[in-house]
Amino acid sequence: MAKNKKQNKKELADMEENFPQWYTDVISKTEMVDYSPVKGFMVIRPYGYAIWENIQKEFDKRFKATGHQNMYFPLLIPKSMLEKEAEHVEGFAPEVAWVTKGGDKELNEPLAVRPTSETIICSMYAKWLHSYRQLPFLYNQWCSVVRWEKTTRPFLRTSEFLWQEGHTLHETAEEAQAETMQMLNIYREVAEEVLAIPMLTGRKSDKEKFAGADATYTIEALMHDGQALQSGTSHNLGQHFTKAFEIQYLDRNNEQSYPYHTSWGVSSRLIGGLIMVHGDENGLVLPPKIAPVQIVIIPVAQHKEGVLDKAYELKKILEQNYRVELDDSDNSPGWKFNQWEMKGVPIRLEIGPRDIENGQAVLARRDTSEKITVALDEVGTQAGDLLDAIQKNLFEKALKMREEKTSSAENMDEFQEKLAENPGFIKAMWCGDRACEDQIKEQTGASLRAVPFDEEQEIIGDGTCVCCGKPAEKVAWFARAY
């Protein structure tokens, strides 16, 4: 193992010294993603896309289990339509890509490549909704969106990314709020239970909320380098869009009413989070539930009689329950160990002539490097137990990391010191004023990530705002962020 570590270390930048370079090395060496010829756009390669497909499946089944259906809306949105909700257009206009020509003809009106689809979806909802009997509308769309970004990094911030956007309508404000929270909880559930990433949940400040929302709720993760990653958002849009788009229906009292509206999204950015939370000096570390390959079988001395046969036999047994790969390429076992370690496969199964003689195989864990020898007829159950243990361990490790990188501060000096000493989340009382939020950002580079929900509220120090010293009712979590 020592040798492998050294080799991978040579392939990757040191993650403690140069985390951005380590990230770039990992995503390219694992062939997850590549830079495209169009600046700011990425190509998602098969290994990265397989992770996205697994993420999609996990969310999609939960969306459907809670009554949502998928649809597909046009990629292009007329300029006038994007402009109907004032805050919305102000928020998105600076980053829109515009189609101005179709074939040889200039268009009469420029069309926006969708940066998000509230406007075009609302224009159709206005046509479809007539009666309260039709409500709620519970719809979702899987697609890509384009936002013209100046500084880009694959998965984390690109001019095009893959995502889902849910768009729902409800009779009452209470139902819309319940939907907003339900979807936030589904986001947290998948993030924590499948991706093994602990999430801070809470409400965004007005400064950080979605352009056109009453309230935005967020799941926020902490990366290895102490920076936060906004990983999913759920918006209660109130009646902003339903009024702007004249979505009216005959309510239970036989009167025309505007419905209440939510939208919510997660994106391929989650893959960036996976990499930066679990990765180590040897590359990617994937939670078993999301790994495209859960077990890689590496035959040792594969030219010897019976080795490949036995390896294929094990593969056949294991792939009834797990996603399994057998690497029978001409490369040396050591080279294969490194490659699959780099790719973050949770379990490596080694099988050689001596193992076969002894009726055993070796299982090596990616997360702890621990090796166990197991009887061949127990490989299936042992591997299953090990995958569960790895899944659990990765979450616990990530939670411990977050706890170690979370400090609290009672004043700005302390805020800056702690953030410098131990980059991560800073919990601090906040009076609720935009001015204080702006000043904190300016002085420290940390933005307000979320105001936790009441049940997770606490009082830091004497309960006064970390910035202005006035009485503050709530704690907020701050961090530098991707």
Q: Which of residues 49 and 382 has its CB atom nearest to a second copy in the complex?
A: 49
Q: Is 359 in the site for a second copy (CB under 8 A)?
A: no
Q: Looking at 11, 14, 16, 53, which residue binds a second copy (CB under 8 A)?
A: 53
Q: Which of residues 9 and 157 has its CB atom nearest to a second copy in the complex?
A: 157
- Which two three-digit tokens encode residue 315? 């593969």
Please give the Cα distance from 366 to 376 (Å, whole number).
20
Q: Looking at 26, 27, 51, 77, which residue binds a second copy (CB under 8 A)?
A: 77
Q: Residue 94 gets which letter from DSSP?
A: G
Q: Interaction with a second copy in 372-411: which residues (CB under 8 A)? A: none
Q: Which residues, other chains included, contact 169 with Cβ-Cβ below 8 Å and sequence gap of 6+?
A: 125, 129, 135, 136, 137, 242, 247, 259, 260, 261
**For 368, phi and psi rounded to 5 degrees?**
-120, -5
Please give the Cα distance from 24 to 13 (Å, whole number).
9
The distance from CA 198 to its chain's CA centroid, rounded to whole angstroms, is 11
Minimum CB separation of residue 154 from a second copy in Å reads 12
- 356-361 contacts at long range (C-beta below 8 A, 24 or more positions apart): 356/306, 356/307, 356/310, 361/314
Minimum CB separation of residue 72 from a second copy in Å reads 4
Q: Interaction with a second copy in 253-312: which residues (CB under 8 A)? A: none
Q: Which of residues 133 and 303 has its CB atom nearest to a second copy in the complex?
A: 133
Binding footprint of a second copy, residue count (CB under 8 A):
53
Minimum CB separation of residue 303 from a second copy in Å reads 18
| Nearest of 234, 254, 235, 275 to residue 394 by alpha carbon | 275
Q: Which stretch binds a second copy (CB under 8 A): 65-73, 175-183, 205-213, 364-372?
A: 65-73
Q: Which residues, other chains included, contact 63 with Cβ-Cβ below 8 Å and sequence gap of 6+?
A: 70, 140, 164, 166, 186
Tell me the CA distances in angstroms from 244 to 131, 170, 480, one per residue in order: 19, 16, 35
Q: Is 45 in the site for a second copy (CB under 8 A)?
A: yes
Q: Looking at 17, 72, 420, 455, which residue binds a second copy (CB under 8 A)?
A: 72
Q: Is 42 in the site for a second copy (CB under 8 A)?
A: yes
Q: Residue 67 gets which letter from DSSP?
A: T
Q: Which stretch binds a second copy (CB under 8 A): 87-95, 318-326, 339-347, 407-415?
A: 87-95
Q: Which of residues 73 and 260 has its CB atom nearest to a second copy in the complex?
A: 73
Q: Is 160 in the site for a second copy (CB under 8 A)?
A: yes
> What CA dihedral angle connects 80, 83, 84 and 85, to 10 degrees?
170
Angle value at C-alpha 453, between 449 and 459, nearest 5 degrees? 85
Q: Which stretch binds a second copy (CB under 8 A): 76-84, 195-203, 365-373, 465-473?
A: 76-84
DSSP letters spanning 351-363: E-HHHHHTTEEEE
Q: Which of residues 1 and 71 has its CB atom nearest to a second copy in the complex?
A: 71
Q: Which of residues 76 and 399 has its CB atom nearest to a second copy in the complex?
A: 76
Please give the Cα distance from 116 to 113 (Å, whole number).
9
User: Do residues 450 and 202 make contact, with C-beta atoms less than 8 angstroms apart?
Assistant: yes
Please give the Cα distance from 341 to 117 (Å, whole number).
40
Q: Is 37 in the site for a second copy (CB under 8 A)?
A: yes
Minimum CB separation of residue 128 from a second copy in Å reads 8
Q: Which of residues 148 and 312 has its CB atom nearest to a second copy in the complex?
A: 148
Q: Which stretch binds a second copy (CB under 8 A): 71-79, 202-210, 255-263, 400-408?
A: 71-79
| Nearest of 212, 169, 219, 211 to residue 192 by alpha carbon | 219
Q: Interaction with a second copy in 92-121: which residues (CB under 8 A)? A: 93-104, 110-111, 113, 120
If 0-12 CB within 10 Å is exposed, 13-18 middle and 19+ buried, where does residue 422 land? middle
User: Do residues 393 and 331 make contact, with C-beta atoms less than 8 angstroms apart?
Assistant: no
Q: Which of residues 110 and 333 has its CB atom nearest to a second copy in the complex?
A: 110
| Nearest of 333, 343, 330, 193 to residue 280 by alpha carbon | 343
Q: Which of residues 11 and 95 has its CB atom nearest to a second copy in the complex?
A: 95
Q: Which amino acid is at 83?
A: E
Minimum CB separation of residue 100 from a second copy in Å reads 5
Q: Which of residues 236 and 242 has its CB atom nearest to a second copy in the complex?
A: 242
Q: Which of residues 147 and 348 has its CB atom nearest to a second copy in the complex?
A: 147
User: Do residues 292 and 47 make contact, with C-beta atoms less than 8 angstroms apart?
Assistant: yes
Q: Which of residues 220 and 327 has its CB atom nearest to a second copy in the complex?
A: 327
Spell out, one character per residue from 116 to 155, where the chain touches a second copy: x when CB under 8 A holds, - when not: ----x--xx--xx----------x---xx-x-x-------
Q: Is the peptide bond before 346 cis (omega within 30 degrees of 0)?
A: no
Q: Looking at 1, 3, 16, 38, which residue binds a second copy (CB under 8 A)?
A: 38
Beta bridge pairs of residue 325? 296
The binding site for a second copy (CB under 8 A) comprises 34, 36-38, 41-46, 49-50, 52-53, 69-78, 81, 93-104, 110-111, 113, 120, 123-124, 127-128, 139, 143-144, 146, 148, 159-160, 162
